[in-house]
Every structure is written in structure tokens, then in C-alpha cells.
């Protein structure tokens, strides 16, 4: 499956911690968009889509949430709970996010602008194309 956990170097001392994200360095693409999810509601599941052509890196900068990742052939569940870890999700992967902690802040970097036409929001359509 076209996913990868990217270790992010943490610069920490007695004043606190700092992590830098750099295009084509620890983030393996051109960063065109950054968005973040917060005020998520416990028990609510979201995502339910794949992208035709988009790479994203997701970081739980605070708190945690679980991911279901599915390339049409295989499903993977993973917990994202470490701000020093980036989850790279390439195109054509169905994702659902759930079990958000109350304090969860998920930051997402993407290699393109928001484009609703790039979304596949129907799971059967996803399976027809990629399954
Ligand atoms: P949505 O795709 O439903 O979020 P999720 O996949 O996390 O469940 O997006 C929620 C709303 O935000 C929807 O109306 C589209 C809008 N949106 C943007 O305007 N720009 C963006 O970059 C993103 C990701 C979403």
C-alpha cells in the first residue's frame, strides 16, 4: 500500500519541542496546501474518500486518532498519536478517521489545492476503479 510513516526530527530542549517541515526534504513533495482538523467530535467518523491524484502527509500535532486505510485490496488500521511522525498517504487510498481524542489536532499537508473533482466519495466507485 502506498503509505509510509515518516520520522520527523524533533529539536527539543528545556524550553520545549520544535519540528520543521520542509518541501522536498522531510515532506516528499511540493507543499501547495496546509489544513488542519480540530474540534473533532468523539464517536464521529470522517474522511470516507480517496483522491485520484493527491499526496498528503498527516500529522497528529496534538492528541490522537485512528486511520483506516484501504487501497482496494488490503486494509490497514493505524493509530496516529505522535507529532514526530508524518503519515504519507498517496493517491487512490480510501481513508476513514475515527476515535479522535478530545484534544486532537490533525495537520495535513498536500501537494495540490483543494479540488472537489479529485475526490472519490463513493466506496463502490472506488472499488470499481482500484479494487
Ligand atoms: P471533507 O472533505 O468533508 O472533510 P473530511 O474528509 O476530513 O471528512 O471537508 C469538509 C469541508 O471542508 C467540505 O465542505 C470541503 C471543505 N474543504 C475545503 O474547502 N478545503 C480543503 O482543503 C478541504 C480538505 C476541505
In the residue annotation, 49 being an active-site residue is answered as yes
Region 42-64 average pLDDT: 97
CA pair distance 108, 54, nearest whole angstrom: 12
Q: Which of 49, 82, 98, 101 is catalytic?
A: 49
Is this structure's pTM higher than 0.85? yes
Beta carbon of 38 within 6 Å of any ligand 1 atom: no
**The pLDDT of residue 42 is above 90:** no
Q: Whose CA is closest to atom 16 on ligand 1?
A: 114
Mean pLDDT of the chain: 97
CATH class of 4-8+20-130: mainly beta
User: Cell 487512490 belongs to which residue?
Assistant: 92
Region 16-26 average pLDDT: 98
Q: How far is the CA of 37 from the centre of ligand 1 (A)?
A: 9
Are 58 and 87 contacting, i.e. CB atoms less than 8 angstroms apart?
Answer: yes
The strand pair at 16-19 and 10-13 is best described as: antiparallel
Q: Where are the domains of the chain?
A: 4-8+20-130
Amino acid at each position: 500500500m502506498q503509505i509510509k510513516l515518516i520520522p520527523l526530527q524533533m529539536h527539543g530542549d528545556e524550553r520545549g519541542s520544535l519540528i520543521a517541515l520542509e518541501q522536498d526534504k522531510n515532506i516528499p513533495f511540493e507543499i501547495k496546501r496546509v489544513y488542519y482538523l480540530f474540534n473533532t467530535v468523539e464517536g464521529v467518523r470522517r474522511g470516507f474518500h480517496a483522491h485520484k491524484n493527491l499526496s498528503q502527509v498527516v500529522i497528529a500535532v496534538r492528541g490522537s486518532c485512528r486511520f483506516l486505510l484501504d487501497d482496494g485490496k488490503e486494509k490497514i488500521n493505524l493509530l496516529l498519536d505522535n507529532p514526530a511522525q508524518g503519515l504519507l498517504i498517496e493517491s487512490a487510498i480510501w481513508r476513514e478517521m475515527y476515535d479522535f481524542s478530545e484534544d486532537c489536532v490533525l495537520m495535513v499537508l498536500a501537494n495540490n489545492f483543494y479540488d472537489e473533482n479529485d475526490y472519490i466519495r463513493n466506496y463502490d466507485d472506488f472499488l470499481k476503479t482500484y479494487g
